[in-house]
Every structure is written in C-alpha cells, then in structure tokens.
Structure 1
Amino acid sequence: MTTPFPASATATNRRSWLDEALRRLEADVNRSADTHLLRLPIPAVRGISLYLKDESTHPTGSLKHRLARSLFLYAICNGWVREGTTVIEASSGSTAVSEAYFAQLLDLPFVAVVPRNTSPAKIAQIEFYGGRCHMVDRASEVCSEAQRLAQACDGHFMDQFTYAERATDWRGNNNIAQSIFDQLAQEPHPVPDWIVCGAGTGGTSATFGRYVRYRRLPTRVCVADPEHSAFFAGFRDNDPKASVSRGSGIEGIGRPTVEPSFQPTVIDRMIRVPDAASVAAVWVLRKRLGRACGGSTGTNLVGAIDLIAGMMREGRRGCVATLICDSGERYMDSYFNRDWVAATGLDIEPWCERIDGFFATGVWNGDGLESAAR
C-alpha cells in the first residue's frame, strides 16, 4: 500500500512531503537492478574488447531515466518542487517520458512542451505516465514556452539543458560511471582506455569526465556527436556560442546550440559522425548483437570503432566502453524503415559495408568522420 502524502502545507508537513517523496524515489531504485554491461565480440580484433552499457533496460527504457531521477532529486532537495507543484519540461523525447514517470510516482502534474510535429507515438508514451503535452509551432520555442507556463501556474521548469550536469552525483553513488567501472572489475582490462557517449544535454559526458578525474583514472572520455550539432564546433573551436542551422537527425543527442550543461573541459576528444553512419551502425548492431537499438547508440558505436582502430594502429591492448541509450523498438518507423531512410536521403549501404567489414576484417575506413582533441 502506498504511503499517502501529508495534506497540510505547513513547514513541518512540507518536510514530511519531502521525506516521503525521497523515500519513493529511493524505493524505485531498490526495485530496479543495475543495467547490464554487454561485451560485443569483434572477431577480427585481438586484445581489445568493446563493452556496451545497456541503458534501455531502465523502467522507462532509456538512459534519460537516470537524468530524470537526478533532476527530481535536485529540484526537491532545493525546495523548487513541493506537494502539488506542476513540473514542466521542454522535451518531446526520452527525457519527457522519464520525467512523466517520476511525476506520476510522486503524484505531481507533469507537462511536456513539445513541437507540434511530435510523433503520436511519443505523445502516447508521455501520456501513458499521466503527462500532458503542450504544443508549440517551432522547436526553438519549447524552452521559452516552458518557462512561461511555469511562471503562469507557479510551477517548476525542470530545464534539463541547464541542470543536467549539476544534478547528477558525479563522484559516485552508483552513477553510470561508477557502475561501468564496478562491472569491468573482473574483466581482462578493468580500466577502459576510452568511454564513448553522445551529448544531448551534456550531463552524461560531464559525469564521466569528472568521475575519471576524481578517481585519478587514466580513462579518456570521447563524445560522439551527430553531424547536425553545435557541440563539436563548440569543442573544436572553444566557442560556447557555436550554432548550426538545423536540428539533429539523431534523436536524443546533438543540439543546434551549445547547451549550458555541456562541459568541454572534461572531454578529451570529440568525433563528428555522419547521420548515415549512425543509422548504418544500428542496422549492423542488430545483426551482431541480436537486438535493435536507437540511433544515438549507432553514433556511439561508430565513435568506439574509430577509437579501437586507432588503438590497433598504435599496437595497444585494452578496452572501450560505450552506451546503448535506448531500444530500437521506438524507431521501427524511422531508422529501421528503409522507406523512411530513403526519404531522408541517407545512403547507409556504404557505411554498413564499412562497419560490418571492421567486425569481419579489423580494417577500418574512417573517411567522413571528423575528430578533435584537447
């Protein structure tokens, strides 16, 4: 039986509400096992292992489950979210789904501000957890409209793009970085040479970068960025105002501007990955791993392959770890639909041959990728 929240708004009962909210969040974690770390064999490569942290097994099906929980903890402990507070987020993707889940867990109203062209499937996922979608005409308006709504209803704009890097406990507490290192402890190479991730808010790359420095580990962090994203140029040119003219074609990662949570100083390398390569990679991965993964996982995989190829050229042994960000079941009408792929003008076959060829022969052609390092 669920413990009821206290009804009174006195200071004492506000603390009682906070205590009960934190108990529910902690209980939710206790009900969930840690996500698996999978080893993906590369038959042609000796002495270097590739691991995939499968974040698709969270209750809401994606890496953003961790972020949403951290954002709620941060907002509650700061006193920004209290009993009855309407929580508002600017997101039409996995973050909104995960935040709707936690809002429902805490009996809080939730509104996702989304572009009007958001797919019905995504809206249905948000609404499944009791969330409501508020439409805007242009994607560029979602943050300003979320802020306006929060002010109008005395609610709280969660603002993932600002708070992601500071809400996550990067020192440990079973965060994603600590979890990977714990799971690698009995492997032939327990300390990875590289950890590869994408950047949507920048919170995950900040967690990895800070954690390895805090633990004095030699592991380096690489962000694999889709082609239509400002993060790569911001990193390469040390330009926090870098921007691109169109949105990312790979859902969940890449942004038209450099977001406040993106911390380039804790990143060692970035690799810009063409969208055709990202989509091709998930087609190859489905065959090699036996499951479908989202497009951002494909971006990560291409970045990991490029780094492994570099280690081979240098004659090094070791391992690389990256992330399965979400399941490909959400993308059967897009990335895994050949008509959709053709309509977007992506030629994935040459990249499929390259990526599959790397697994079979160990030979890698990285033409088309762009890399920058600090």
Structure 2
Amino acid sequence: MTINYGVLLGFVASDDAEISLQSGQFEGAIRFRVDDLQKPIENPENINWESYARGAVYALQNFGYELKKGIIGYISGVKGLDSSGLSSSAAVGIAYLMALENVNGLVISPVDNIQLDKSIENKYLGLENGILDPSAILLSRHGYLTFMDCKTASHSYVYFSELSKSQQCQGQLPFKILLAFSGLQHNLPKKRGYNTRVFECKDAARALLCATGCEDASCILRNVDPAMYEAQKCILEENLARRAEHYFSEMKRVVKGRDAWARGNLHEFGQLISASGRSSILNYECGSKEMIQLYEILLKAPGVLGARFSGAGFRGCCLAIVESDHAEAAAAYVRAEYEKAQPELVSKIPADRRVLVCEPGDGARVI
C-alpha cells in the first residue's frame, strides 16, 4: 500500500545523451551522459542525491538496455519530509528508471523495474536492501492490500471485505494513515545499523541451516523451515536468536494481517501492526530513543488501531492506522505529546508537516 504523498520528477527528453537534473531539496545541478560507463560506489560516504540518477543508468546498462536519450528534469519530494524514511531512496530510483525508459521507448514491466531498482541499491550503492520498498511503490493499487512473497517475487491483491470493490475504487475506506515525523534526518548508507541487522540474519540462517544439514542452501532465513527453526533455535547466540525470532514472528503476522484485512477486521489488523513495531524494537533492536517515543505516543492517540516505524527506525517517520472519524484528533494529540517529549527536534519540523493525515495511494506511474 502506498500513500497520497510521494516523489515527483518532471522531465522531458534531451536532444542528445545528456542528463541534466535539478532538485527541490538539494542545491546544484547534475550533468552526465547516459553513454558514460557507471561504476559502483565504493565508499558509502560518497552517496548523494546524484547517485540515484547515475545508479538508474548503471542498472539499465547492466541489464543490457540501450540508452540513447537523456532527460532534462526537476525532482522534488514533499517539503518537510526530506529523509523521512518513506521509501524515499526507492521512490527516487524508480522515478529515474521510469523517466529514462519513457524517453528511450523502453517497455519494462513493474516486476522487472523492481529488480532494476534492487540493482541500484545493492550493486551500485552497496546497500543490503531487499525488494519490499520498490515492490510496494510499483505494485500497489489504491484501496487494496498488496500481499507479497519476497522470495518468489509473486504478489496478489486483497480487498477489504466490508466494502465492495467498486466502493474501494472511490476511496471509501474506513481508516486513514497517520504519518508522524520524528525530526531525525540522515542517510541510511551513513548509518550502518540496517546492514548489520541483515548480516546478523544471515548468520542466524547459516547456523540453523548447518544444524539441520542444509549447509548448501543460501544463507537467508526464508530457507529455514519454521518447524526446524522451532526445534533448533536454542543453538543461536542471544542476538542472533532475537533477529530470527523477529523474522519468523513477522512472517506469521503478515499472513494473519492479510486474513484480518480480508475479513474486514481492522482492529486485529492494527494489533498486528503494533506487534510488528514492538518486535522491531525488542527483537530486531531497531529504533532510536526518539522514534520509540513517537511510536509509543501514537499507540495512545485516540482512534489509533496500530502503529510502527515506517522503515528501519533509525530516522524519519512512524505510521499509524487510525479510524477515519478520529484522524484529526489523533493527529492533534501526537503533535502535542511529541512536542513535549522532543521540543528541540519538533522546532525544526515545519508546523504543517509534523503529523500528516494521509489516504491510501496508487502505484508509481508516468502521468
């Protein structure tokens, strides 16, 4: 599911192979050519807003697509939500991919664009990101829950059973999405906590696979049978045990969440979101002090059914599902309580961007 806020890239085809870009959030201009050979970034400290445009060219080149035309463009996110943790890097990468594909007459499916964006993140930028963010951005449909299998890249759509499909298309859903901004801003590549968690999950998978005689399998927790995990989890070191517990409990929550949504049970759906948030803090050990404070404030707000970090919890936003009739009251409560808890951080956030009441959105597209 996406929201009705996002990244906009206005573009036209250039007369030649040159890319020329400006940003609403960052100073300066980018100029390079699509026929320049792009090489992966070796030092994550060198990643900046230019990197995602170059990464898009890199991914398309590596997948064998021919680029002859560049773009002249202006890219901008939502003012006040820079570095907010709202899948912003994936959204930017996808915007550049779709623009370059458009001007070069390339017809590329959403599924293939997911892999192209993954190439930007993994191979060009050196991050250990998976496909969840680009999949949500590219595959979401307004009013529907997207149910994904990140291993097989298969997906399906689940509609809310209390409403007919025609009603959902008109936006008549019984909930809103609250986004509460912490005021913490930094780039994921410069904070290696996320990659560390990924490596710990791989270590946990390796130990479990070896214990069950599956040493040759790829070291991801998805390759560990849940029954085998239950039988062998006692062998894991304490921190690896917590990472694995987060993973396997999250897998259960996803399936339960899909079923709750299909039954129209928003209360159960919200409880599962909150449980995911708690596990992120206790088992995955993500979340700064400020983000945890914000998460706990959201849980106490009127009409909130569930809350969690919007991403890894090192920066940016927390989100909540809230009953439509209580959305504005919940937003006011969160604004007031978080300002009491973190007055200095809140003072740096534009007043109209501290808490947003959002609607479900649609997938990425050229308009």
TM-score normalised per structure 1: 0.25
Greater RCO (CA < 8 Å, at least 6 residues apart)? 2
TM-score by length of 2: 0.25
